[in-house]
Copies of this chain bind each other. A is one copy, B any other.
Amino acid sequence: MNKYIASVPLEKAFRLINHGATTLVSSRYGGIDNVMAAAWVCGLDYDPPKLTFVLDSQNKTRQLVEKSGMFAVQIPTLSQLELTHWLGTHSLYDDPQKLEHSGVELFSIEGFDVPLVCDCAAWLVCKVIPEPHNEQAYDLFIGEIIGAWADTRIFRNGHWQFENADASWRSLHYIAGGHFYTIGDAFDAKSE
């Protein structure tokens, strides 16, 4: 594992997704790995930490997550803009070699049987809390965050370091039609 990757305490895991970045979601089942882009991932609870993830049934990831009960949410950076968009606009259903064609590199963390995307800013491994009505009526999945890690060059001591790192590390925030924003400047509120 990359020497810069460090575990994030689960009670601080929400900070990795609280600013609303677009994510990459990876999954594995029956020897098949996949990675998709997802903007609709959101914090749900602090303790135990949970998140919501909207996962349409048109995505192959849906099948893998339903069968494995696991997925990983990753925070890609500006360096991964093209990769993120490519993974979000190509389906494993249409291209069984999607991952090879995307150029994505994967790694694993011991004890968690889910593929992780190299060079992201952060990784959250989630276990599905089954809620069949939400999944069927809304494509809405709830995940408990059971492991969290970040690259210490951009998140350390519980804090994002966007203001202290190269702009290539900034998180991506998708709108539509291939148009993204990166996260911007830092501000601290003075009011108590």
Distance, CA A52 to CA B86, complexed state (A): 27
Asked if residues A182 and B187 are in contact (CB atoms below 8 Å), the reply is yes
Q: Which residues of B contact A44 (CB under 8 A)?
A: 40, 54, 138, 140
Q: Which residues of B contact A159 (CB under 8 A)?
A: 175, 179
Known: A43-B54, A138-B44. A81 touches B181 (CB 8 A): no
Q: A54's closest neighbor in chain B, by CB?
A: B44
Pairs A–B under 8 Å by Cβ, sample size 23:
A14-B176, A15-B176, A19-B173, A20-B22, A20-B42, A20-B173, A39-B43, A40-B42, A40-B43, A41-B42, A42-B52, A43-B54, A44-B54, A44-B140, A52-B52, A81-B189, A82-B190, A89-B191, A170-B184, A179-B186, A180-B186, A180-B188, A181-B184
Q: A86's closest neighbor in chain B, by CB?
A: B191
Please list the residues of chain A having a beta carbon within 8 angstroms of any beta carbon in chain B.
Answer: 14-15, 18-22, 39-45, 50, 52, 54, 78, 81-82, 84-86, 89, 131, 133-134, 138-140, 142, 159-160, 162, 167, 170, 172-176, 178-192
Q: Which residues of B contact A134 (CB under 8 A)?
A: 131, 134
Q: Which residues of B contact A173 (CB under 8 A)?
A: 18-20, 173, 183
CB distance from A76 to the nearest CB of B (A): 12
Apart from A14-B176, A19-B39, A82-B190, what are 17 other A-B pairs with CB-CB below 8 Å? A18-B175, A20-B21, A20-B173, A40-B42, A42-B52, A42-B54, A43-B54, A81-B189, A134-B134, A170-B184, A172-B187, A178-B191, A180-B186, A180-B189, A181-B185, A181-B187, A182-B184
